[in-house]
């Protein structure tokens, strides 16, 4: 079905090209070179000048999409496949399978204005909900390793939410949706000459699609910039978020997401997630001796509590960490025309985690006698990170450009167990059949990693170019992988995960088409995997291959066709038994081979904008043995925006127009069999936008 629709769409575009050629010559989309990004060198530059696979969702597109969940915006980009769970939760995929497990989130770096949302070594799979995406100016996604500049966790990719520049602003958005959904967004800014500021507010309150799955979330950002008389520029602010969520668990049973009586049910009405996060930063920019220097001190605080409804006994996790850090970088133009950059990153984090089970374990005889009531873990970790990086870019011949990068990073964990060491209950009493949870003794672990990058590009003309890149990404083991052990494992002797990436990128534009094609091959070694004995080991080697296509076609003055197509293959490359089967050569579970979207934008008048979007998800296996699969789905969304006058506009979004029964995420376990997070049916969101600036 996916292939048929793709071929049909491209064929229609080709047939229409002859009738639309005149309009295309004078009416093309905004040139890519006019877009500015900060997610590659950490300094603003034209997107066309970047030696990276980077995509951007801009302000106008974000306003049209007006996402109720950031998945709706991010999945419009090539290589990105975010799966939505319950409420504001999600699992991220960038040139990867949808990764799960305690530290799998370490494969992606999520940042806001260049400040990572979580400290190195303390990621959370849902951390994206801490970013103020609702009021973003743009969202930048680097696909593939970004470790040369950003370090650990930017292994498969980087998502950076860029907030608006402070200054004059005055806008308000009020939105109504199904089941008592209310959403608000506001921006208020002032320009006082050398001093500019802006306040961003957003909030959502909804009852939830499923029983006992309501969400209340508020976000606040304050931004400022100040230019001193001594030519020093200050640019910073803070963001604070608060989430109170009732969480719906998996639907269990083959094709349970298709059952109308089950779709809105919730077997875990007691589940919840409460999360608070705060970040504050200031960038100091100055020029000294022909060096552009940028110093960015920052502070971060995270406090989260939730019921692990997916675990036997449903223990509660309480996690918090506080960080102080500094990003320092210098940029210099050399006499030979090359651009040189060097930098130093330091960060100190104090973190604590407690897992406690208030109630006795229910279930089988084995579970009751292996999972005790009470505290399972209670530990603190102090982490110290220091890293240095270099970058060199030069035009080596007419049209040829060389890009080199190198980062050396070291992180040290100092772990302090606040309970009795070993595999007992909190009072030191062994379980009848051996306790599931094991607590290591106090220890110190350190990880040093080197991340090189080589890039070579050739510019044919201002509209056509080709790039070739070889680079290494890495991530240090996360604290939960090292110190949250199970069964007989008392020490997790882990190494950093490493990913070697090879990529060819072709970008072009003419009077008819804008296009981008990326072909990549990535080998990941030392992948951290939990075996059948629940031991965390460097026992996974996977390969990731893919072709990403991004196409844009101006059909007429009022019609714009856009498409994103992903053809990928993620496989296990080492022999390992799973369910009695050697899975070498199998597809990694939750890794669709095909996914993407096609969008037709129609603007019949300057006051009316509409978009018809088709979203396709191919089938994928849900277990490593490749014996169970989800068959995929196709969704149709319709969005419209009407400008009443210069100040007031209305928008209407109709999601899942055909009321398709589908799964946002499909999964499988030995204990439950098939399980799903069901997708929502047809729903409408109406909003009023007032720009009073």
Residue 32 scores a pLDDT above 60: no
CA dist 57 and 515 (Å) reads: 16
Q: What is the pLDDT of residues 115-169, one digit of tens each?
A: 999 998 999 999 999 999 999 999 999 999 987 888 888 999 999 999 999 999 9
**Band of residue 674 on the pLDDT scale cut at 50, 70, 90:** very high
In 647-682 the beta strands, taken as DSSP E runs, fall at 648-655, 663-669, 673-678
pLDDT of residue 579: 83
Side-chain-side CA neighbours of 645 within 13 Å: the count stands at 3
Residue 24 scores a pLDDT above 90: no
- 154 in Cβ contact with 171 (< 8 Å): no
The tokens 């990694």 sit on which residue? 588
Mean pLDDT of the chain, nearest integer: 91
CA dist 679 and 618 (Å) reads: 15
Residue 5 scores a pLDDT above 60: no
pLDDT of residue 538: 87
Least confident window among 14-28, 217-231, 498-512: 14-28
Residue 630 scores a pLDDT above 70: yes
Residue 208 scores a pLDDT above 60: yes
227 Cα distance to chain centroid: 33
Q: How many residues does the chain have?
A: 693
CA dist 483 and 439 (Å) reads: 7
pLDDT of residue 670: 86
Q: Tell me the mean pLDDT in the region 493-511.
A: 93
User: Encoding tokens for residue 280?
Assistant: 């504050």
pLDDT of residue 400: 95
Q: Tell me the mean pLDDT in the region 265-271.
A: 94
Q: Tell me the mean pLDDT in the region 540-563.
A: 95
Q: Tell me the mean pLDDT in the region 87-113.
A: 91
Q: How many domains does the chain have?
A: 1
Specify the 3-state DSSP secondary structure of 86.
coil
pLDDT of residue 582: 92
User: Encoding tokens for residue 200?
Assistant: 């961003």
**Band of residue 3 on the pLDDT scale cut at 50, 70, 90:** very low
Residue 291 scores a pLDDT above 90: yes
Q: What is the pLDDT of residues 448-477, one digit of tens each?
A: 999 999 999 999 988 899 999 999 999 999
Instruction: Report the percent of the chain where pLDDT is more than 70.
Output: 93
Q: Are strands 443-461 and 233-246 parallel, antiparallel or unpaired?
A: unpaired
Residue 534 scores a pLDDT above 60: yes
DSSP 273-295: EEEEEEEEEEEEEEEETTEEEEE
Q: Tell me the mean pLDDT in the region 539-561.
A: 94
Residue 356 scores a pLDDT above 90: yes
pLDDT of residue 151: 85
Least confident window among 42-46, 87-91, 294-298, 380-384: 42-46
**Band of residue 479 on the pLDDT scale cut at 50, 70, 90:** very high
User: Encoding tokens for residue 295?
Assistant: 């110093």
Q: What is the pLDDT of residues 321-330, one digit of tens each?
A: 999 999 999 9
Residue 179 scores a pLDDT above 90: no
Beta bridge partners of 235: 225, 283
pLDDT of residue 161: 96
CA dist 593 and 664 (Å) reads: 16
pLDDT of residue 40: 65
- 233 in Cβ contact with 227 (< 8 Å): yes
Residue 434 scores a pLDDT above 80: yes
pLDDT of residue 18: 33
pLDDT of residue 31: 41
- 221 in Cβ contact with 135 (< 8 Å): yes
- What's the whole-model pTM score? 0.92
- 162 in Cβ contact with 137 (< 8 Å): yes
- 84 in Cβ contact with 247 (< 8 Å): no
List, edge to edge, every strand of the sheet that includes 673-678: 251-252, 673-678, 663-669
pLDDT of residue 148: 80
pLDDT of residue 149: 82
pLDDT of residue 100: 85
pLDDT of residue 56: 92
Element (H, E) at 115: strand 115-116
Q: What is the pLDDT of residues 590-617, one digit of tens each?
A: 999 999 999 999 999 999 999 999 999 9
pLDDT of residue 9: 36
Specify the 3-state DSSP secondary structure of 584.
coil
Beta bridge partners of 532: none
The tokens 């970004």 sit on which residue? 146
Residue 20 scores a pLDDT above 60: no
Per the rule left: phi > 0, alpha: psi between -120 and 50, beta: everything else, 144 is left
Task: Supply the range of the domain harboring residue 496.
Answer: 2-691
Say which CATH number the domain at 648 has.
2.40.170.20
CA dist 172 and 174 (Å) reads: 7
């Amino acid at each position: 079905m996916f292939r048929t629709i793709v071929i049909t769409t491209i064929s229609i575009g080709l047939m229409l090209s002859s009738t639309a050629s005149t309009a295309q010559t004078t009416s093309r989309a905004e040139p890519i070179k006019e877009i500015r990004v900060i997610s590659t060198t950490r300094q603003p530059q034209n997107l066309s000048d970047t030696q990276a696979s980077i995509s951007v969702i801009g302000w106008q597109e974000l306003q049209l999409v007006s996402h109720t969940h950031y998945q709706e915006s991010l999945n419009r980009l090539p290589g990105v496949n975010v799966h939505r769970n319950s409420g504001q939760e999600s699992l991220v995929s960038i040139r990867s399978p949808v990764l799960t497990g305690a530290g799998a989130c370490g494969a992606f770096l999520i940042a806001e204005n260049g400040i990572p949302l979580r400290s190195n070594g303390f990621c959370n799979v849902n951390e994206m909900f801490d970013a103020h995406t609702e009021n973003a100016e743009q969202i930048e996604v680097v696909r593939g390793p970004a470790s040369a500049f950003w370090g650990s966790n930017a292994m498969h990719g980087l998502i950076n939410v860029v907030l608006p520049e402070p200054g004059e602003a005055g806008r308000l958005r009020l939105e109504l949706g199904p089941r008592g959904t209310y959403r608000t967004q506001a921006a208020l800014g002032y320009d006082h000459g050398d001093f500019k500021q802006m306040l961003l507010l957003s909030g959502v309150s909804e009852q939830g699609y499923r029983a006992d799955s309501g969400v209340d979330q508020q976000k606040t950002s304050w931004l400022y910039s100040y230019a001193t008389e001594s030519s020093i520029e200050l640019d910073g602010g803070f963001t604070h978020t608060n989430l109170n969520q009732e969480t719906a668990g998996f639907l269990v049973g083959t094709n349970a997401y298709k059952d109308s009586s089950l779709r809105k049910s919730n077997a875990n009405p007691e589940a919840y997630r409460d999360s608070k996060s705060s970040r504050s930063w200031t960038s100091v920019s100055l020029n000294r001796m022909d060096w552009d220097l940028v110093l960015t001190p920052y502070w971060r605080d995270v406090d989260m509590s939730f019921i692990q409804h997916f675990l036997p006994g449903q223990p509660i996790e309480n996690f918090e960490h506080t960080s102080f850090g500094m990003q320092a970088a210098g940029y210099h133009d050399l006499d030979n025309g090359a651009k040189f950059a060097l930098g130093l990153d330091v960060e100190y984090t104090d973190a604590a985690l407690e897992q406690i089970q208030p109630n006795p374990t229910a279930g089988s005889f084995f579970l009751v006698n292996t999972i005790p009531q009470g505290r399972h873990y209670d530990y603190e970790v102090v982490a110290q990170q220091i890293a240095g990086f270099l970058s060199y870019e030069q035009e080596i011949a007419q049209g040829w450009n060389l890009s080199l990068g190198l980062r050396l990073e070291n992180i040290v964990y100092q772990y302090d167990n606040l309970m009795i060491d070993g595999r007992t209950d909190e009072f030191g009493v062994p379980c009848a059949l051996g306790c599931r949870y094991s607590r290591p003794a106090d220890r110190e672990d350190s990880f040093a990693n080197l991340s090189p990058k080589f890039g070579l590009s050739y510019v044919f003309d201002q509209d056509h170019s080709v790039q070739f890149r070889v680079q290494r990404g890495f991530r240090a083991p996360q604290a939960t992988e090292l110190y949250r052990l199970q069964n007989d494992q008392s020490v997790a002797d882990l190494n950093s995960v490493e990913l070697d990436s090879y990529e060819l990128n072709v970008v072009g534009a003419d009077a008819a088409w804008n296009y981008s094609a990326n072909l990549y091959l990535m080998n990941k070694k030392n992948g951290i995997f939990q075996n059948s004995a629940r031991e965390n080991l460097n026992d996974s080697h996977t390969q990731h291959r893919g072709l990403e296509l991004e196409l844009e076609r101006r059909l007429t003055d009022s019609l714009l066709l856009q498409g994103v197509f992903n053809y990928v293959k993620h496989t296990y490359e080492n022999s390992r038994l799973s369910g009695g089967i050697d899975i070498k050569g199998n597809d990694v579970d939750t890794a669709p081979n095909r996914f993407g979207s096609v969008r037709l934008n129609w603007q019949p008048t300057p006051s009316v904008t509409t978009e018809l979007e088709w979203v396709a998800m191919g089938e994928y296996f849900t277990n490593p043995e490749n014996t169970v699969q989800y068959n995929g789905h196709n969704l149709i969304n319709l969005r419209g925006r009407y400008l009443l006058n210069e100040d007031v506009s209305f928008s209407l979004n109709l999601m899942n127009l055909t009321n398709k029964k589908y799964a946002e995420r499909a999964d499988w376990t030995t204990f439950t069999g098939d399980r799903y997070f069901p997708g929502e049916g047809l729903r409408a969101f109406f909003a009023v936008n007032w720009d009073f600036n």
